[in-house]
Amino acid sequence: MPDIRLIPCLSDNYAVLLKAGDTVVLIDAPEAAPIEAVLEKEGWRLTHILVTHKHADHIDGIPALAAAFKPEIIGPAAEESSIPGLTQTVREGDTVTVGPFKVEVFDTPGHTKGHVVFYFPKEKLLFAGDTMFALGCGRLFEDTPAAMWNSLKKLRALPDDVTVYCGHEYTLSNARFAVTVDPGNEALKARAGEIEAARKAGQPTVPFPLGLEKATSPFLRADDPAVAEGVGRPDAAPEIVFAEVRERKNNF
Ligand code: ZN
Ligand code: FE
C-alpha cells in the first residue's frame, strides 16, 4: 500500500498525498501552504496532482505547487478551461497511469457537471471529491438530483472494502441529519455516535469504508423503502426520494 497523508486545508477541506517509490500524488489542492509543509516534513517531491473539479477550494493551491514542483496535473476534460495548468484531461472510462498506480476515472455529474472521481482498484482507494461525503453528498450546483443519484449509484457499485477519501469534513452535520430521515437504522445510529465522539476528540472522520457508507448513508439508500418512508415519500421513485433527501439536508 502507498504511504498516505490526510491534510486538513482551509476551514473544512481535505487534500490527500499518496506516495509509492518516487511517485507522490496529491488529490486536490485547496491551498498550497499545508501541503507544502507536509511535503517538506516528509522529504517528498510532488510528482502528480489529480483534480476532481473546478471549485476554488479544490484548485487554488495549484499555481504555487506547479511552480515549485512542475508536477503532472490531471483533471476533468469538461472543466479544462476552469482549472489552471492541466497537463492531461480525463473522462469516464479512462485508466490513467500515475507512476506505479493505475487509476480509473468516473464522471460523476451533480455537484458540478464535469466532476470526476479517481478510483485505485488495486489499492482499493476512492477519491470522491465533492460527489460523496461521509453520510452525505455535494450540493447540486450544476446538475439534477437524478444525475447525482446516478453518479452515487456508480460509486455504490464498487466493493465494500474500498476506502473512501472525500473533499470535506462535513460528517457531524451529515450524521445529525441522517438519523432524522432513517431513524430505524441501527448501523447508522452506531456510526453517528462514533462520529460525535471522534469530532469531540478533534479526530477526522475521513477516510471511511464504502461498505459502511452503503449501509448508513441516506444518500446512497434512496431506493430503500425505509428512507422513502423517512422523507414522507413512500413508493416514490428513487430519484424522487433522493431529491427529497437532498432538499431536506439543504434546509437542515
Ligand atoms: Zn466543490
Ligand atoms: Fe469543495
Q: What's the rounded mean pLDDT across residues 19-36?
A: 98
- Give the chain's mean pLDDT: 98
pLDDT category at 9 given cuts 50, 70, 90 is very high
Largest Cα separation within the chain, whole Å, is 56
Q: 48: CA distance to ligand 2 center in Å? A: 20
Round to whole Å and give the CA distance between 102 and 118: 10
pLDDT for 1 beyond 90: no
Distance in angstroms (rounded) separating the CA atoms of residues 56 and 54: 6
pLDDT at position 22 is: 98
Closest ligand to 13 CA?
A: 2
What's the domain count of the chain?
Answer: 1
Query: Locate cell 426520494: which residue?
Result: 241
Residue 148: alpha-carbon gap to chain centroid = 13
Distance from the alpha carbon of residue 168 to the mean position of ligand 2, in angstroms? 7
Q: Is the pLDDT of residue 103 over 90?
A: yes
Least Cα distance to 85 among 127, 26, 36, 42 occurs for 26
Question: What integer pLDDT is reported at residue 199 of this predicted model?
Answer: 98
pLDDT digits (tens, 9 = 90+) for 156-204: 999 999 999 999 999 999 999 999 999 999 999 999 999 999 999 999 9
The string of pLDDT tens digits covering residues 107-137 is 999 999 999 999 999 999 999 999 999 999 9
User: Per the structure block, which three cell numbers stand in for 186?
Assistant: 441501527
Distance 122 CA to ligand 2 centre (A): 26
> pLDDT by residue (tens digit) across 63-75?
999 999 999 999 9
Domain of residue 170: give its range: 1-252
Which amino acid is residue 238, in one-letter code? P
> How many angstroms does the Cα of residue 210 sit away from the middle of ligand 2?
20
CATH number at residue 246: 3.60.15.10
CA 109, distance to chain mean position in Å, is 13
Ligand in nearest proximity to the CA of 82 = 1
Q: How far is the CA of 64 from the centre of ligand 2 (A)?
A: 19
pLDDT at 61 over 90: yes
Query: pLDDT value at position 209?
Result: 98
**3-state secondary structure (DSSP) of residue 21:** coil
Distance 115 CA to ligand 1 centre (A): 9
Closest-approaching ligand to the CA atom of 10? 2
CA of 234 to the centre of ligand 2 (A): 32
What is the C-alpha to C-alpha distance for residues 126 and 224, in angstroms, rounded to an integer? 24
Percent of the chain with pLDDT over 90: 100
